[in-house]
Amino acid sequence: MAIPHSTRRKLVLILGILPLLFSCSGSASVDKRNPSAENTEPLSGASLYLQHCAICHGEDGKLGASGAKDLTMSKLDSNQVVQMIKKGKNAMPPMKELLETEENIGLVVSHLMKFRK
């Protein structure tokens, strides 16, 4: 015996709705995370530090990889730190090109000053 016509219509309806549901939830999650947001987000000292400095100095400034100094123990004033970042010293490479602007250098300096006790 064939499935009654009304039941078949319901089945078709359900099957028709399913992909709609999936596509809805899919686009909703895309909306939440605007892909262009990442580019417009202002750079923070913390993110610049993590990107360019943490590989040697560690997230908290204490790592000391490749002979890097412990930044929590540093006695340099902020001008000396700026010079350090721009010119480098021994195993520390100059970072001026990477950080691109004075403003970014300033952001990184104020971030690492927070490591000190």
Chain residues binding ligand HEC by CB under 6 A are 52-53, 55-57, 66-69, 71, 74-76, 81, 84-85, 89-93, 95, 108, 112
**Burial category of 56 from C-beta neighbours within 10 Å (exposed 0-12, middle 13-18, buried 19 and up):** middle
Closer to ligand HEC by CB, 43 or 84: give it: 84
Distances in whole angstroms, Cα of residue 105 to Cα of each of 37, 61, 97: 23, 16, 10
Please tell me the distance from the alpha carbon of residue 53 to that of residue 77, in angstroms, as a whole number: 18
Q: How far is the CB of 65 from ligand HEC (least distance, A)?
A: 7
CB of 114 to ligand HEC, least distance (A): 12
Q: Give the residue with the Cβ less far from ligand HEC, 31 or 103.
A: 103
| Cβ proximity of 48 and 55 under 8 Å | no
Question: In terms of Cα–Cα distance, which of 80, 83, 58 is closest to 69?
Answer: 58
We find the least distance from the C-beta atom of residue 39 to ligand HEC, in angstroms, to be 22
Give the shortest CB-79-to-ligand HEC separation in angstroms.
11
